[in-house]
Amino acid sequence: MIITFVHHSCFVVEMQDRMLIFDYFRNENVKGYEFTGVLPEFPTDKPIYVFSSHFHQDHFDLEILRWAEEYANIRYILSKTIRLGDRYLTRNGIDPKIKEKITFTKPDKKYFIDDMEIKTLKSTDVGVAYLVYAEGKCIYHAGDLNTWKWEGAGDLVNGKEEKAFKREMHKLEKEEIDVAFVVVDSRQQHFATDGLDYYMKNIDAKAIFPMHMWQDYSPIAKYKAKATNAAFLSRLVTITGENEAYEIL
């Protein structure tokens, strides 16, 4: 597999027989940031599966539906939080028939699309997280599923957030995950890597990619500096910037 970190929470996974694209949005969509992500070239002979975990502007872009004009063999797996009424689509120059290519997802469900199995988890914010089984591999994309603890929120609120997160993580404990995309949000300050730390200590995954970092990659280095177990850390990919590609066996 070739994993391309486009930006923020957007990754492209190129497998032998397909392309998976998670949570794409155009660079200019989020004010206050200058994203530089560029999608890799899509082979014309491979099916393309586009996932969006929820409707937030840093996870979904209506532009992805226009790709069907160029790529006939494309399917969309979108959270049901993304509302695509016929009038809305028409007003934006998109044929409502595009919905024939869309599977709308809810939390805690299982879907079968072509030869893939897809499971969903309930986000601790909005929408879903995805488990995708394809070509003998398992890929996890968290979306906004994280332990959303904040400075000043208080122990009661933060405790509820942590409990909700761990309840969802418990569903992953028996999974053998090959690649995981996990939230590390520097805006949470010293809570930034709490979700990552719990995931690494409790969930099996061969390669773990931090994401949702708002172009601040410093929490990764800080986290690695605290840990002394090299084998433990070897699974964690050090992302340093947008448009980086990695080969995962």
Beta pairing, strands 48-52 & 19-22: parallel
Integer Cα distance of 193 and 80 in angstroms = 28
Q: What's the pLDDT band for 140 if we cut at 50, 70, 90?
A: very high
What does the pLDDT look like over 34-82, one tens digit per residue? 999 999 989 888 999 999 999 999 999 999 999 999 999 999 999 999 9
Question: Is the separation of the CB atoms in 25 and 61 below 8 Å?
Answer: yes
State which residues form the domain around 73.
2-247
Res 144: pLDDT: 98
Query: In 92-220, where do the E strands start and end?
Result: 102-105, 110-113, 116-122, 128-134, 137-141, 177-183, 205-211
Burial 166-189 (b: 16+ CB within 10 A, else e): eebbeebeebebbbbbbbbbbebe
Taking residues 139-163, report their average pLDDT: 97
Output the pTM of the full model: 0.96
Res 232: pLDDT: 82
Asked if the model's pLDDT at residue 92 lies above 90, the reply is yes
- Token pair, residue 135, equals 């070509």
Integer Cα distance of 220 and 218 in angstroms = 5
Integer Cα distance of 22 and 217 in angstroms = 20
Q: What's the pLDDT band for 230 if we cut at 50, 70, 90?
A: confident
User: What H or E segment, with its residue span, contains residue 52?
Assistant: strand 48-52
Res 165: pLDDT: 98
Listed in sequence order, the residues at least 6 apart from 209 whose beta carbon sits closer than 8 Å to its beta carbon are 3, 5, 11, 179, 180, 181, 182, 237, 239
Cα–Cα distances (Å) from 11 to 40, 91, 211, in that order, read: 10, 29, 9
Mean pLDDT in the chain? Answer: 96
CATH number of the structural domain spanning residue 234: 3.60.15.10
Q: Count structural domains, the chain.
A: 1
Integer Cα distance of 12 and 7 in angstroms = 10
Beta pairing, strands 110-113 & 102-105: unpaired
- Token pair, residue 66, equals 């226009």
What 3-state DSSP class applies to 23? coil
CA atoms within 13 A on the CB side of 108: 7
